[in-house]
Structure 1
Amino acid sequence: MTPLITPERIAETRRLIRSHVRHTPNLRVDMADFGLGERPVDLKLEFMQHSGSFKARGAFTNLLTRSLPPAGVVAASGGNHGAAVAYAAMRLGVPANIFVPAVTSPAKAERIRSYGADLVVGGDRYADALAASEKFVAETGALAVHAYDQVETLLGQGTLGAEIEADLPDITTLLVAVGGGGLIGGIAAWFRGRVKIIAVEPEGSPTLNMALEAGQPIDAPTEGIAADSLAPRQVGKLMFPIAQAFVDRSVLVSDDDIRLAQQALWDKLRIVAEPGGAAAFAALLRGKYVPAPDERVAILLCGANTTAVTFP
């Protein structure tokens, strides 16, 4: 277990960042509306967070609790973390340099630029952007804000678990999409087994799934339509013991499952979710996770930075 990531520290972090992040709403839906049996399910609409994803929580936690050098902050990101760090830096008046891979969606790149950060696009995958950002840190002395393998990042994401429990105290099961694991790691550290946590990953990037089977973080494929948010090479070392202790299992969804979930969320609820943001819903919609009759299920919709919908 990681001793620095505790419910007490998460609660303290929640008080610290409360004025900087949104308390996002929940929506109760009946899965009968999606062609499944009658079952109430709570959707946590975290895609309504500042910068379009949950990442703002970890970004503000880093910038408010760590010493900021004159060179400002730097982040490597598939897009959402970079947008969150750029947003937090803009609000706090801090220079930001964001490194993203070529797979980053145009919507995410544009959002980063809109917050005034310097954006560098290079390399094919997140690992390439991370290497470039590390070189920049060595040359400038800027503060690196890691997307998932950083204590402050996990504490910030853990505040989402605290918020979910405060709003939905009766849930028994929570489905969470996984990339590097900062989100599920923080949430699982908050709940510590009080709620069944189900990890959901794309078949093309089963990072936590493979790590749990191997007993340690290992290199995994980085493919699929959610590659800009759910496809690091490995899960974080800080979150892994938390996942081993408090994540019930990892289930995998296909790209087609994710596309169908995106379409269903739009058709039935007029919710626009990016692929990574719709992955957890895909697991329930497509039967990759089948809850018991007495389970009270909540699903985290964690991001909406996409150009999937255009307006005339």
Structure 2
Amino acid sequence: MSAATIATIDWRHDIEAAAQRLHARVPGFLRETPLWKLRGEALGLKARGAEVWLKLEHLQISGSFKARGMMNRLLANDIPASGAIVASGGNAGIATAAAAQALGVPCEVFLPVVSSEAKRARLRALGAQVVVGGEVYGDALAACLERQRETGALLTHAYDQPEVVAGAGTLGREIEQQGGMPDAVLVSVGGGGLIAGLAGWFEARSRVVALEPERAPTLFNARAAGEPIDVDVGGVAADSLGARRIGAISWEITQRHVRDALLLSDEAIRSAQLWLWRELKLAVEPAAALPLAALQSAAYVPREGEKICLIVCGANVDPATLA
């Protein structure tokens, strides 16, 4: 899809359509996840009266926001007898498998070796055929595309399809319905489907801030280069934020609607992840901890009285790693 075509899409219209499709076709599949409003002081922040909203999307069906986009992708297309196929670091695969199971169709998931055993076990429990190979997400995607050409299965891309982005954008719609308009939304970026959906919904009405690990600077490096480029990826969040290149849709939307792209150290991410477990008993994966890490490390400094929404995006984590 060309940048010119992407620029013509009315994302708020498509997000509204996705929300209506999901509600009408599969009522009860998606959960309305809680929006927890806390004072900044409750999170140990020197935030001068800032109000921090935790959007607990890790409680979504399949354990992440990905369920929204994957189900929207399946519902918006005819599904062949060979079912659905996806490459994933784990969460998009789990979401596609959950959607496929709900619709009664087969699902095949390609994972890189960096994917966690907890995510592989969850996929198998959902009835998916799991193929593990390649060092990172890009390797799994190449194998997935070759297999898709053989079987004709419906491809669900982890982040770079309009239906996937519009489905992710329903999260922004839900936040606004639950709590009104936040001043800022802090969100983790891998391939960029979630931030594209959120920026497509909020546009200039709220400041959407991109957060990436220093060891997976997909959007940050693209901005430095002036175009999407391949980057080396690794670190504590690589199983979720391991895309080598920012998606074309995300690149176009974030160029228009996202001003800030910030990098965070593995140490800050891990510290925030453990803090969420020890202090709030929220068991989340590293990718879900970047928004809090941005506040705790002062990478993002709130204005006095600012309303900041942190997207707690995924919970597919081995609890043993939180000890």
Report the TM-score, using the length of structure 1 for normalisation: 0.97
Alignment partners' CA distance in 1, 2:79 and 2:317: 31
Q: Report the CA distance between 1:310 and its aligned residue.
A: 7.7
Instruction: Go from structure 1 to structure 2 and tell me whether the alpha carbon gap of 1:191 and 1:34 turns closer, same or farther (over 3 Å shift).
Output: closer
- CA-based RMSD: 1.5
Alignment partners' CA distance in 2, 1:132 and 1:60: 22
User: Which structure features the higher share of helix residues?
Assistant: 2
Task: Find 2:7's aligned residue among 2, 13, 23.
Answer: 2
Q: Which residue of 1 aligns with 2:3?
A: none
**2:298 is the alignment partner of 1:287:** yes
Instruction: Go from structure 1 to structure 2 and tell me whether the alpha carbon gap of 1:97 and 1:5 turns closer, same or farther (over 3 Å shift).
Output: farther
Task: Say if 1:149 and 1:236, in contact at 8 Å, map to a contact too.
Answer: yes
Task: Find 1:57's aligned residue among 65, 68, 82.
Answer: 68
Which residue type is aligned with residue 9 of structure 2? Answer: L
- Please identify, of 74-83 and 213-222, the stretch whose mean Cα deviation from structure 2 is larger: 213-222
Task: Find 2:16's aligned residue among 2, 8, 11.
Answer: 11
Instruction: Go from structure 1 to structure 2 and tell me whether the alpha carbon gap of 1:242 and 1:172 turns closer, same or farther (over 3 Å shift).
Output: same
Q: Report the CA distance between 1:202 and its aligned residue.
A: 0.3
Q: Which residue of 1 aligns with 2:173?
A: 162
Give per-residue Cα distances to partners, 1:195-246, cap 9 Å, x unaligned.
Answer: 0000110000010111122221111121111001112110101121100110
Q: Report the CA distance between 1:10 and its aligned residue.
A: 0.6
Identity of aligned residues (%): 45
Task: Find 2:39's aligned residue among 30, 33, 43.
Answer: 30
Gaps of 5+ in 2: 1-5
Instruction: Go from structure 1 to structure 2 and tell me whether the alpha carbon gap of 1:254 and 1:154 turns closer, same or farther (over 3 Å shift).
Output: same
Q: Which residue of 1 aligns with 2:244?
A: 233
Alignment partners' CA distance in 2, 1:235 and 1:262: 24
Where in structure 1 do 4 or more consecutive aligned residues deviate above 4 Å? Answer: none
Alignment partners' CA distance in 1, 2:76 and 2:264: 36
Q: Which residue of 1 aligns with 2:289?
A: 278
Q: Report the CA distance between 1:5 and its aligned residue.
A: 4.9
Q: Which residue of 1 aligns with 2:103?
A: 92
Task: Say if 1:5 and 1:154, in contact at 8 Å, map to a contact too.
Answer: no
Q: Which residue of 2 aligns with 1:137?
A: 148
Q: Which residue of 1 aligns with 2:202?
A: 191
Give per-residue Cα distances to partners, 1:163-211, cap 9 Å, x unaligned.
Answer: 1111121411000000000000011011111000001100000101111
Which residue type is aligned with residue 181 of structure 1? Answer: G
Task: Say if 2:189 and 2:195, in contact at 8 Å, map to a contact too.
Answer: yes
Gaps of 5+ in 1: none
- Please identify, of 166-175 and 68-77, the stretch whose mean Cα deviation from structure 2 is larger: 166-175
- Please identify, of 15-24 and 123-132, the stretch whose mean Cα deviation from structure 2 is larger: 15-24
Alignment partners' CA distance in 2, 1:5 and 1:304: 31
Alignment partners' CA distance in 2, 1:277 and 1:213: 25
Give per-residue Cα distances to partners, 1:31-54, cap 9 Å, x unaligned.
Answer: 323432253211000000000000
Alignment partners' CA distance in 1, 2:101 and 2:230: 34
Give per-residue Cα distances to partners, 1:101-156, cap 9 Å, x unaligned.
Answer: 00001111111111001000001100110011011111111111100111110010
Q: Report the CA distance between 1:268 and its aligned residue.
A: 1.4
Give per-residue Cα distances to partners, 1:49-105, cap 9 Å, x unaligned.
Answer: 000000000111011011111111100000000000000000000100000000001
Q: Which residue of 1 aligns with 2:261?
A: 250
Q: Report the CA distance between 1:298 and its aligned residue.
A: 0.9
What is the aligned length?
A: 312
Task: Say if 1:34 and 1:264, in contact at 8 Å, map to a contact too.
Answer: no
Instruction: Go from structure 1 to structure 2 and tell me whether the alpha carbon gap of 1:310 and 1:290 turns closer, same or farther (over 3 Å shift).
Output: closer
Q: Which residue of 2 aligns with 1:109?
A: 120
Which residue type is aligned with residue 176 of structure 2? Answer: E
Which residue type is aligned with residue 35 of structure 2? Answer: N
